[in-house]
């Protein structure tokens, strides 16, 4: 069941007749799922793509070769390109990209610990990028990130 924040975000999108797409890495489709559970979500949710592996980011989202090697798959730069490139191909008003570290074994470092999440949102008139450091288990980190996305969208469209 969607959180109160996601529900409020969906209701605002419905009221404003705005559509949304998602391109997800760390959340692996959960963000799309959460938005899909809200009543009348079919009026706003176009769909999404899970791009977990580097090859999908490079091959399907056209992230330039070498970009991921330079910045890592979990970075502000890659998240921005994911959002911008997916937005170009999707007929939606808003496109959200999310990458990050929910478990050890990725590109975590002292400066980028597990719990670091990157969000980039493309709106028709502007873009918003954020970096967060959430605490908790992987599911909690993703749930906090999804609520952060809902908050960012609500602030922009209100």
CATH number at residue 24: 3.90.950.20
pLDDT digits (tens, 9 = 90+) for 110-126: 999 999 999 999 999 99
What's the pLDDT at 32?
98
97-110 pLDDT, tens digit per residue, is 999 999 998 899 99
Which of the 8 DSSP states describes residue 114? T
Number of domains in the chain: 1
Going residue by residue through the chain, which has 158 residues, state the pLDDT in tens, using 9 for 90 and above: 899 999 999 999 999 999 999 999 999 999 999 999 999 999 999 999 999 999 999 999 999 999 999 999 999 999 999 999 999 999 999 999 999 999 998 899 999 999 999 999 999 999 999 999 999 999 999 999 999 999 999 999 99
pTM: 0.96
pLDDT of residue 1: 83
Strand partners, 21: 47, 95
Q: Contact 107/76 with Cβ under 8 angstroms? A: no
Domain range for 124 is 4-157
- Which residue blocks in 16-157 are alpha helix, DSSP H? 30-36, 54-59, 67-71, 76-89, 138-157
């Amino acid at each position: 069941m969607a959180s109160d924040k996601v529900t409020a975000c969906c209701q605002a999108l419905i009221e404003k007749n705005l559509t949304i797409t998602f391109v997800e890495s760390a959340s692996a489709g959960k963000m799309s799922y959460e938005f899909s559970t809200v009543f009348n979500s079919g009026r706003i949710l176009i769909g999404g793509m899970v791009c977990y592996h580097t090859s999908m980011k490079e091959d399907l989202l056209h992230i330039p070769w070498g970009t991921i090697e330079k910045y890592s798959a979990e970075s502000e730069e890659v998240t921005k390109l994911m959002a911008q490139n997916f937005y170009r191909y999707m007929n939606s008003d808003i496109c959200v990209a999310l990458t990050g570290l929910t478990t050890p074994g990725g590109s975590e470092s002292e400066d980028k610990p597990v719990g670091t999440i990157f969000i980039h949102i493309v709106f028709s008139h502007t873009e918003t990028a954020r970096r967060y450091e959430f605490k908790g288990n992987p599911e909690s980190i993703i749930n906090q990130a999804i609520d952060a996305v809902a908050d960012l969208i609500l602030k922009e469209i209100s």
